[in-house]
Amino acid sequence: MSTDPGIWVAGILTLLAYSFLYKDNKLYQATEHLYVGLGAGYTLVLGYENVVRSGWNPIIEGEWWFILPMLLGLMLFGRFSPGTRWMSYYPMGVIVAIGATLALRGAIPANITGQLSATMIPLNTVNNVLLVLGTLATLTFFFFTLGAITNRNSLLFKFSLLGRWTLMVAFGAAFGNAVMGRTSLLIARIQFILQDWLGIIGTGL
Amino acid sequence: MFDRLVNLDRRILYAIIFVLIAFPLISPIGLPISVSSMVVAAYEVVDSLEEGDVVAWSFDYTVGGGPDCHPHSEAVWQHFFDKGIRVVAVSFVPEGAQFSRELVMLWEEQGKVYGEDMIDVGFIAGFETGIGEFVGNPTGASPTCVRGTRVADHPIMEGIDDVDDFALVGAIATGAPGPFEWVRQLAGYRVPYLPGVVTVMGPQTIPYYESGQAVGLLMGLRDAASYEVLMERPGMATAAMDSQSFAHLFIILLVVLGNIIYFTQQRREADNQ
């Protein structure tokens, strides 16, 4: 069994968090609030460190142009008062402009041309055929403006049904992954309790 | 019987899941672990790197997703250091910096030299904007590392002017910024990109592997276990796989049972009408 007080605190808090599974209780709520508070505190400290490291220290070392982003950052706080709200529009504009430009720069090769070329493949394996057919059928499912798609006897409508099934398979895979992910989180906590805290199991196999 | 099952106290199911997970951890069975082609590709890319190469590794995961993602970093870093590869750690999610700090300290205890074998650039704010800055200027995106030394002054950063000077970029994520942001920002660069994601994000990320925009893909704890198997170094991820298999079997059983009950009740109601 661990003698580290930190492990004990983490172990007890884990049990308190899981006590919700039995029923909602005050101890669970206290743990939840503690978690939120710790998260907020950690982010605040990290944000402060980041400003000092990336903004304040370079200014002190003579890189005076770092004053500009620092000033823009301070102007963001203007939005807390109606009289000074206008000040926050300028840094916000800079943030949106830079963010949008950076995202757009890579969006076309990353999400359009890259994905399109990945669909232009030889139809020489079952996987490739399924991939191309599934992509086309799914895209067909999202045609809402063609008359043929509303006609239940049309070939296009039947093809769009294949798209619906492809989507269902994708949602099923996503759900399966969600279950697997949540199970992994639970395993990690039980591993922590049994190994790090109680010392019932050893490390590794 | 079906009525009793429908009204079964859910806490009984929780207890069964707990036992099914805890039992194989205490007494491992060693069920076989299959390895996906995406993990094999990831392993082969890392294995093809040469001693002295410098890679960037981004810890873009939160505490909530840590158990699903951190084993990726642990397994791949083991592989890196087995091969003498040097690592630049960075994070674009505030909580990710905690994981990088922990791993760097762990490897320091194992004899790796901070500044030469690895450095921790720490958290860079701005999410995708931060990634864009790091990709274009890895030494300038954050002037100093977490220990206060100028990033550019570390020997490991010698000759690193942009992201193409890294032999590989690995980024493990639980959400945004994640593969979507990384692929966008790496467009136009030649550096191989290896994403790792929390299991839930897997299906959304696979297209990047299929299109060749990612050189491999690690999805959740399972793929960390697969990576450990490929390295022939079974660790905690491998130990967890028996539990995962047992829990999944039970959940599959519940899904099948739930469907049988649902359709049986529907038929019964139709018969009554």
A49-55 average pLDDT score: 85
pLDDT recorded at residue A149: 67
CB contacts of A98 in chain B (<8 Å) are 129
Q: How do beta strands B193-197 and B218-219 pair?
A: parallel
Closest in A21, A189, A204 to B234, CB measured: A204
Which residues pair with residue B196 across a beta bridge?
Answer: B172, B218
A157-179 average pLDDT score: 91
Which domains, and CATH codes, for chain B? 2-29+248-272 (no CATH), 37-234 (3.40.50)
Q: Does residue A179 sit at the B interface (CB-CB below 8 Å)?
A: yes
Is residue A168 in some structural domain? yes
Would you tell me how many other CB atoms lie within 10 Å of the CB of residue B149?
14
The pLDDT tens digits of the residues spanning A85-102 come to: 999 999 999 989 988 888
Burial classification of residue A109, based on how many CB atoms lie within 10 Å of its CB (0-12 exposed, 13-18 middle, 19 or more buried):
middle
CB contacts of B251 in chain A (<8 Å) are 179, 183
Q: Does B265 score more than 90 pLDDT?
A: no
Q: Does A53 score more than 60 pLDDT?
A: yes
pLDDT recorded at residue B144: 87
Interface of B with A in 17-76 (CB under 8 A): 17-18, 21-22, 25-26, 28, 30, 63-68
- The one-letter code for the residue type at A178 is A
A142-165 average pLDDT score: 81
CB contacts of A47 in chain B (<8 Å) are 94, 125
Is residue A45 in some structural domain? no
Task: State the smallest CA–CA distance between residue B272 and chain A in angstroms.
Answer: 32
Q: Does B63 score more than 70 pLDDT?
A: yes
Angle at A138 between CA A135 and CA A142, to 5 degrees: 135
CB contacts of B221 in chain A (<8 Å) are 184, 187-188
pLDDT recorded at residue A51: 87
Q: How far apart are CA A158 and CA A165, in angstroms?
A: 11
A153-162 average pLDDT score: 86
CB contacts of B11 in chain A (<8 Å) are 21-22
A27-42 average pLDDT score: 94
Do B123 and B95 meet the contact criterion of CB atoms below 8 Å apart? no
Task: State the smallest CA–CA distance between residue B104 and chain A in angstroms.
Answer: 18
The DSSP H or E segment spanning B176 is: none
Sorting pLDDT into bands at 50, 70 and 90, what band is B168? very high
Tell which residue, B118, B223, B231, B243, has the closest CA to residue B172.
B223
Q: How far apart are CA B145 and CA B61, in angstroms?
A: 19
Q: How far apart are CA B93 and CA B174, in angstroms?
A: 10
B170-188 average pLDDT score: 93
- Residue of chain B nearest A183, judged by CA positions: B244
Closest in B68, B211, B235 to A114, CB measured: B211
Sorting pLDDT into bands at 50, 70 and 90, what band is A148? low
Lowest mean pLDDT among A58-62, B109-113, B162-166, B179-183: A58-62
Is residue A55 in some structural domain? no
Sorting pLDDT into bands at 50, 70 and 90, what band is A147? low
- Residue of chain B nearest A178, judged by CA positions: B200
Q: Do A187 and B240 touch (CB under 8 A)?
A: yes
Q: What is the DSSP string of A96-146?
A: HHHHHHHHHHHHIIIIIIHHHHHH---S-SHHHHHHHHHHHHHHHHT--S-
Q: How far apart are CA A29 and CA A124, in angstroms?
A: 57
pLDDT recorded at residue B29: 84
Q: Does A204 score more than 60 pLDDT?
A: no
Contacts of B133 (CB under 8 A, 6+ apart): B124, B126, B140, B141
Is residue A27 in some structural domain? no
Is residue A170 in some structural domain? yes
Interface of A with B in 104-163 (CB under 8 A): 105-107, 109-111, 114-115, 117-118, 131
Q: How far apart are CA A44 and CA A202, in angstroms?
A: 37
Q: Does B26 score more than 60 pLDDT?
A: yes
Q: Does A162 score more than 90 pLDDT?
A: yes
pLDDT recorded at residue A205: 42
Q: Is the pTM of this model over 0.80?
A: yes
Torsion from C-alpha of B78, B51, B177, B128, nearest 10 degrees: 160
Q: Which residue range is the domain that position A159 belongs to?
A: 122-205
Angstrom distances, CA of residue B18 to CA of A22, A183, B12, B52, B66: 13, 10, 10, 45, 20
Closest in B65, B123, B238 to A50, CB measured: B123
B125-154 average pLDDT score: 90
Cis amide bond preceding A5, omega within 30: no
Q: Map residue A35 onto helix, strand or coil.
A: helix
The pLDDT tens digits of the residues spanning B99-117 come to: 999 999 999 999 999 999 9
Q: To probe the interface with B, which of A48, A184, A190, A201 has the most B CB atoms within 10 Å?
A: A184
Closest in B26, B132, B204 to A102, CB measured: B132
pLDDT recorded at residue A20: 94
Helices (H), chain A: 5-18, 26-51, 57-60, 67-76, 85-107, 114-119, 126-141, 147-150, 155-191
The DSSP H or E segment spanning B110 is: none
The pLDDT tens digits of the residues spanning A91-131 come to: 999 989 988 888 888 888 888 888 888 889 899 999 999 99
Task: Please state the domain count of chain A.
Answer: 1
Tell which residue, B9, B167, B3, has the closest CA to residue B88.
B167
Is residue A62 in some structural domain? no
Tell which residue, B215, B188, B184, has the closest CA to residue B55.
B215
Contacts of B209 (CB under 8 A, 6+ apart): B38, B41, B215, B216, B217
Lowest mean pLDDT among A144-158, B8-22, B124-138, B145-159: A144-158
Closest in A43, A107, A177 to B184, CB measured: A107
Q: Does residue B219 sit at the A interface (CB-CB below 8 Å)?
A: yes
